[in-house]
Amino acid sequence: MANIKRNCIKGHIKDGFVKPENAGTSCCIFGDCITDGDVICCSFREPRVEKPRLLLHSCCAPCSSYVLAYLNKYFNITVFYYNPNITNKEEYLKRKQEQIRLISELPAINKINILDADYNPEKFFEISKGLENCREGGERCFKCYKLRLEATAKAAKENSFNYFCTTLTISPLKNAQKINEMGQMLGDEYQISFLPSDFKKKEGFKKSIELSSQYNLYRQNYCGCIYSKPKE
């Protein structure tokens, strides 16, 4: 009999063989164990369990680097690149290409996909109207969080994902509590589970910087909107 490691409901696995309490009776939940005297060897390989599908909103490749490396063990991830706050199209396309490159180069247990979205900066200008002079990290940013999270929740629901999430909480400059509150609210509204996070913790932000250096990623010096861009 082949000495192959199998899984059996009794759980007493040693060198591929199982010695159940009642030798000669099937101990496998699938009922196809082969008896051999007082030894039973399960001939069935444990079925592969599909990981839940996660739609991950990504603001940029550097912020997504650690998040993808960490979550890939637990989810089948599709990156949702939706960032109308990046008001310069050349900048938007540069960041988008870096995101695509990172996905192609990052070692992954499960293949990482990408779901592209339309480039519509007018949406950002609509929600930020009247808040042009708002401080960075204030109400204008909160509206921007919601704009991107809501688009992600809608896309997750429409494409039958199990969860949606965002890389935004990797940044020390982003309000993780506010992001999670909005995510939970939108999850309830669209009936899709939100995965709360604070990816900057446990050196998450530091690890994202290290991965950005390792993959030679373009790291921008502002979040993307014209109001946050440093004056030259």
Name the domain count of the chain: 2
Q: Does a structural domain hold residue 12?
A: yes
Q: Does a structural domain hold residue 221?
A: no
Which CATH number does the domain housing residue 165 bear? Answer: 3.40.50.620
Query: What is the mean predicted confidence (pLDDT) over 181-201?
Result: 97
Based on the domain organization, do 5 and 43 belong to the same domain? yes
Based on the domain organization, do 125 and 14 belong to the same domain? no
Tell me which residue range forms the domain holding 77: 53-214
Task: Scan for tokens 């164990």, then name that residue.
Answer: 33
Of residues 232 and 217, more confidently modeled: 217
Using 50, 70 and 90 to split pLDDT, how confident is the model at 183?
very high
Using 50, 70 and 90 to split pLDDT, how confident is the model at 229?
confident
Across the chain, mean pLDDT equals: 83
Based on the domain organization, do 37 and 67 belong to the same domain? no
pLDDT at 19 over 60: no
> CB neighbours of 214 closer than 8 A, spacing ≥ 6?
none
Residue 68 tokens read as 């993808």
Based on the domain organization, do 10 and 114 belong to the same domain? no
Strands (E), the chain: 34-36, 39-41, 53-57, 76-81, 113-116, 163-166, 193-194
Based on the domain organization, do 126 and 11 belong to the same domain? no
In the prediction, which pLDDT does 87 show? 87
Query: What is the mean predicted confidence (pLDDT) over 40-55?
Result: 65
At 90-137, the pLDDT tens digits run 999 999 999 999 999 999 999 999 998 999 999 999 999 999 888 888
Based on the domain organization, do 128 and 24 belong to the same domain? no
Instruction: Report which of 8, 2, 84, 93 is spatially closest to residue 46, judged by C-alpha positions.
Output: 8
pLDDT at 175 over 60: yes
The fraction of the chain above a pLDDT of 70, given in percent, is: 78
Using 50, 70 and 90 to split pLDDT, how confident is the model at 150?
very high
Based on the domain organization, do 38 and 105 belong to the same domain? no
pLDDT at 5 over 70: no
pLDDT at 187 over 60: yes
In the prediction, which pLDDT does 10 show? 38
Query: What is the mean predicted confidence (pLDDT) over 162-172?
Result: 97
Instruction: Report which of 119, 53, 125 is spatially closest to residue 81, judged by C-alpha positions.
Output: 119
pLDDT at 46 over 70: no
Using 50, 70 and 90 to split pLDDT, how confident is the model at 48?
low
Based on the domain organization, do 186 and 121 belong to the same domain? yes
Q: Does a structural domain hold residue 191?
A: yes
Using 50, 70 and 90 to split pLDDT, how confident is the model at 47?
low
Residue 19 tokens read as 């010695």
In the prediction, which pLDDT does 49 show? 75
Based on the domain organization, do 135 and 22 belong to the same domain? no
Based on the domain organization, do 36 and 139 belong to the same domain? no
